[in-house]
A and B are shown apart, each in its own frame.
Chain A
Amino acid sequence: MKKMRVVEIAGNLMQKNDAIARRLRDRFAEQGTLVVNLLSSPGSGKTTLVERTLERLADRYAIAVLVGDQATENDARRLSRDGVEVQQITTGAECRLDAGMISAALLRWNGRRFDLLIVENVGNLICPAEYDLGEDLRAVLFSVTEGEDKPLKYPLAFNTSQVAVITKGDIAQAVGFNREAALTSIRQVNPNGRVIEVSARTGQGLDDWIGLLEERIAAKPVPVA
């Protein structure tokens, strides 16, 4: 048996991502861009919420959208409309976006300034929770068709988000959604976060979501040159 020596390596695996995320955050602060990172399982309604958001805000603000998916460019096509910059990031084997991918995407916009950058992460509640993208606001979506205990199964995603958005409220009754149980499990992992309940179909609760974005955009004004 050969003798072994032990070599210490001090290294957090997130070091590289976090360093890039810090640079992104500085840059967004300089440019006065509000960055929102949307997390959820596949099919919770991220793309639909982004569509509604664009309908309400695109004529008043300069908006860019980054959409992450492992495959296809369907979401980017779905979201494209006049006056909004949309880029699809196809991640292939990777199950989440990371700060380096955001940085590379921004280069393709040649440093253009936006009031609001919406990042629609890959549908997955595990991996995206680990990756800081330099965002100001992390929102986790969770539809009434998912188990009320989802926040307990994916505590990190809910714990690191400032907002939890409960979607598809219009079918809550039909699917027997237990609202109290859902709110309790959200509070168990994130007692101070804000909860917004919406239905993209009926428009219920969208004012709360849009209001929050407007408030946060106003709090990050265009820099004076």
Chain B
Amino acid sequence: MHEVSVALSLLEGVESTAREQGIDRVAAVHVRIGALSGIVRDALAFSWDVVTAETICEGSRLRVEEIPLVVYCERCEGERAPRPGSGLLCPQCETVSPHVVRGREMQLVAMEVPE
């Protein structure tokens, strides 16, 4: 549901780096989105097209790297990936592992710029 505001924040981040480096055209933007962030990929792609109209990112591709959920299980003493829909349950020992290691990301990673 918040894909439009996420897209706007992405655009803001890209534009500010572009200004610093004198970049006036962006062909693609790479982002990292965690499984717990509640972002729907298609909705984000659609929002990106809408918010980038008439900006330096118009027509650019949004490349999303999805980061699966990983928790730290204290009982197994290791990082585990819970099964979808099982909350934060360790798939091996069934212990609840509330320490989220990965899966909350919403990061800008890089942009591709025509030379």
Contact = CB atoms under 8 A, between A and B. Distances in A.
Q: Do A and B come from one complex?
A: yes
Interface of A: 2-14, 16, 93-96, 124, 126-127, 129-130, 151-156, 159, 185, 187-192
A127 B38 contact: yes
A156 B38 contact: yes
B98 to A, nearest CB: 6
A2 B114 contact: yes
Nearest to B97: A191
B100 A159 contact: yes
Most B CB contacts (10 A, CB to CB) among A8, A11, A159 go to A11
B93 interface: no
Nearest to B26: A7
Most A CB contacts (10 A, CB to CB) among B23, B36, B114 go to B36
Given A4-B112, A159-B98, A152 B2 contact: no
Contacts of A130: 2, 37-38, 106
Interface in B58-115: 85-89, 96, 98, 100, 104, 106-115
B6 interface: yes
Contacts of A155: 36, 87-88
Given A12-B106, A126-B38, A7 B17 contact: yes
A95 B108 CA distance: 22
A129 B23 CA distance: 34
A7 B115 contact: no
Contact of A124 (B1, B108, B110): B1
A15 to B, nearest CB: 8
Contacts of A93: 4-5
B10 interface: yes
Nearest first, the 9 A-B pairs at minimum CB distance are A188-B87, A126-B38, A127-B2, A13-B106, A11-B108, A189-B87, A4-B112, A11-B13, A191-B96
Given A4-B114, A13-B6, A159-B98, A129 B107 contact: no
B73 to A, nearest CB: 12
Nearest to A130: B37
Contacts of B13: 9, 11, 13
A13 to B, nearest CB: 4
B98 A152 contact: no
B95 to A, nearest CB: 9
Contact of B113 (A5, A129, A153, A156): A5
A154 B3 CA distance: 17
